[in-house]
Structure 1
Amino acid sequence: MTRIILMALLLVTGCTSAPEGVEPVRSFELERYLGTWYEVARLDHSFERGLRDVTADYSMREDGGIHVINRGVREDTGEVSEAIGRAYPVGQPSVAHLKVSFFGPFFGAYVVFELDAEYRYAFVSGPNRDYLWLLARTPQVSEAVMTRFRQRATELGFRLDGLIVNSDGH
């Protein structure tokens, strides 16, 4: 529960803009993005610290937004931690730049800056270079995808020295 509160506090102080130089994917098809994504790698954050086997489930809301359920298993207790939120396109729905909220009216950026043509993996940023994820439809990705993720993130100025890779990730 503490992690959920910390995540909410992050979003209170967050913003919905993309980091400078990080461009969202164009020709984004939200319907194809829905479903379950596994967190393969991430930069460390207080709201996910100590979690493993993290997933994100996206489904449509009646108001046209996206219902978000993030789940992870606490490494110390084995308990499932869950955060429920909502997301909406920042501009055109065909651009992979969303604003997400887990706490009231406060939103933070969710920017998909690379997306596999078959929607098998996605590289995602938050509002600044402290937030970075590699999500995939499976708990692991090929070495080629992991290498591409590291290269692309480095090119865009993300510091990967704190990168946490899922034990199954690769």
Structure 2
Amino acid sequence: MLLQVLGLFFLLAVAKAQVFSLGKCPTVKTQDPFDINKYLGDWYEIYKFEASFEGKQTCIRANYQLKEDGHIRVQNTGIEDGKNITAVGDGYAPDKNVPAKLQVRFSDKAPYGKYWVLDTDYDHYTLIYSCTDLAGLSHIEFAWILSRARTLDDQYKTKLFDLVTSYGIKTSNFQKEVQEGCS
């Protein structure tokens, strides 16, 4: 009984800083076809689900570059408390037949996490989703909408919100990110 209570407290602590929901992860479809070469370059975070590992950063930009080993160099930059914050990670597609189902990590000691591209036009927007089932009873999910510019036209927001809604993902979990006053 003590282990169950401790487990519940752990799950509540994790859930406080992430989007935690009951039930299994929703079934989603990734972009098909997906061309990683068109995806490379700079993207700006416009909307996101709460993610404790991002802290309270603003002006978040992600840059993706292909490495010689076929993996992807992921560099995230942002500003927190007036300081530039940079995190460099590694990404790859474990199944070449499903290239939009990427795995990414930001530490050699950390496991890879899901980075699934659900939709992108490569020029204006991308929608990324990650979900992990917890014993089939609940799940933790993350989602990001990125843009090639620091703003995103409402037509793309509407399209992407409609897409996540069709999968049963709550758009109310999205938070608008600050991209004003960025250098």
The offset of 1:94, in angstroms, is 5.9
The offset of 1:150, in angstroms, is 1.6
List aligned pairs for 1:13-92, cutoff 5 A.
Answer: 19-74=25-80, 77-92=81-96
RMSD: 1.9
* Distance change (3 Å), C-alpha of 1:168 and 1:104: closer
**Structure 1 segments (4+ residues) deviating >4 Å:** none
Q: Separation in 2 of the partners of 1:167 and 1:99?
A: 26
Within the alignment, does 1:132 sit opposite 2:138 as a pair?
Answer: no
Q: Is the 8 A contact 1:110 1:127 kept in 2?
A: no
Count of residue pairs the alignment pairs up: 148
Q: Deviations over 1:32-60 (max 9, x none)?
A: 11100001110111111311111110001
SS in 1 for 2:37: helix
Structure 1 unpaired stretches of 5+: 1-18
- The residue identity in structure 1 corresponding to 2:113 is G
Q: Deviations over 1:82-138 (max 9, x none)?
A: 11111011212663111111111610010001111x432111001346200001101
* Distance change (3 Å), C-alpha of 1:103 and 1:168: closer
2:125 alignment counterpart = 121
1:148 to 149, 159, 174: 159
SS in 2 for 1:95: coil
SS in 1 for 2:170: coil
Q: Is the 8 A contact 2:71 2:91 kept in 1?
A: yes
TM-score (norm 1): 0.79
Q: Separation in 2 of the partners of 1:152 and 1:104?
A: 33
Q: Separation in 2 of the partners of 1:65 and 1:44?
A: 27
Q: Separation in 2 of the partners of 1:32 and 1:156?
A: 26
The offset of 1:162, in angstroms, is 3.2
Who wins on radius of gyration, i.e. which is larger?
A: 2
TM-score (norm 2): 0.74
Q: Separation in 1 of the partners of 2:128 and 2:156?
A: 14
1:95 alignment counterpart = 99
SS in 1 for 2:150: coil
Q: Separation in 2 of the partners of 1:146 and 1:20?
A: 20
Q: Separation in 2 of the partners of 1:142 and 1:62?
A: 35
* Distance change (3 Å), C-alpha of 1:84 and 1:168: closer
The offset of 1:23, in angstroms, is 1.2
* Distance change (3 Å), C-alpha of 1:110 and 1:46: same
- The residue identity in structure 1 corresponding to 2:77 is R
